[in-house]
């Protein structure tokens, strides 16, 4: 899809069917905590820009969620700047690029943070339980766990794509590429 075709009302659905796991985890953490820490906001915010969410919609998306736990003033003072910043509307006005898998895999993730690549940064058993809870078939969960133990994170991500789409991916290099391939596979 080209810019502007992605509607923020559909993000819960996209998270289930078209997001790579790194973005699905961030989306779900945001929905349940109504908050994400700095690097999570960056990783997810730039991904959303990359899939075609406009600045106006991104602002509405973050505001609606964050104002469940803070008032609008606090959001405007502490967070609106960062949303505009991701879109190159503040600071050095750089048009920031969504992060690639390599960048995400190489990042460090502290306690209470949800960014990073789940295949790299999650405990293998916790990841396996999560995949089962998402309805991923046992044979795929086993295969993914083995790939993760061998540090083949992007290959594991490709397996997750295969398990959720019934099709092979072209090789996952970038979360936005994953999303686009998924949309094509789903006929959107």
User: Mask 76-95, x = binds ligand SF4 (CB under 6 A)?
Assistant: --------------------
Q: What sign for the dihedral angle of Cα 109, 112, 114, 118?
A: positive
Does residue 119 interact with ligand SF4 by CB under 6 A? yes
The residue assigned the tokens 């993730």 is 109
User: Mask 35-74, x = binds ligand SF4 (CB under 6 A)?
Assistant: ----------------------------------------
> Between 11 and 101, whose beta carbon lies closer to ligand SF4?
101
Least distance in angstroms from the C-beta of 90 to ligand SF4? 26
Given 101, 127, 128, 163, the residue binding ligand SF4 (CB under 6 A): 101
For 172, the token pair is 């996952």
Among 28-36, 73-81, 90-98, 117-125, the segment contacting ligand SF4 (CB under 6 A)? 117-125
Q: What are phi and psi of 107, to 5 degrees?
A: -75, 160
Contact status, residue 55 vs residue 95, Cβ threshold 8 Å = no
CA–CA separation, 103 and 110 (whole Å): 16
Given 11, 48, 109, 117, the residue binding ligand SF4 (CB under 6 A): 117
CA dihedral of residues 17, 48, 31, 158 (deg, nearest 10): 40
Given 6, 8, 11, 22, the residue binding ligand SF4 (CB under 6 A): 22
CA–CA separation, 15 and 136 (whole Å): 15
CA–CA separation, 15 and 26 (whole Å): 9
Interface residues with ligand SF4 (CB under 6 A)? 20-22, 101, 104-105, 117-119, 153-154, 157, 172, 175, 178
């Amino acid at each position: 899809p080209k810019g502007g075709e992605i509607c923020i009302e559909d993000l819960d659905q996209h998270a289930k069917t078209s997001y790579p796991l790194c973005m699905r985890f961030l989306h779900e953490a945001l929905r349940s905590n109504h908050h994400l820490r700095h690097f999570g906001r960056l990783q997810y915010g730039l991904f959303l820009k990359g899939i075609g969410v406009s600045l106006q919609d991104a602002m509405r998306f973050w505001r609606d969620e964050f104002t469940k736990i803070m008032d609008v003033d606090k959001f405007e003072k502490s967070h609106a700047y960062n949303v505009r910043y991701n879109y190159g509307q503040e600071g050095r006005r750089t048009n920031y690029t969504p992060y690639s898998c390599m960048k995400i895999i190489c990042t460090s993730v502290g306690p209470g943070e949800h960014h990073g690549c789940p295949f790299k940064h999650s405990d293998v058993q916790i990841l396996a339980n999560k995949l089962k809870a998402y309805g991923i078939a046992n044979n795929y969960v086993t295969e993914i766990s083995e790939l993760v133990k061998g540090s083949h994170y992007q290959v594991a991500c490709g397996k997750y794509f295969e398990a959720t789409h019934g099709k092979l991916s072209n090789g996952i290099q970038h979360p936005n590429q994953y999303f686009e391939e998924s949309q094509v596979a789903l006929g959107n």
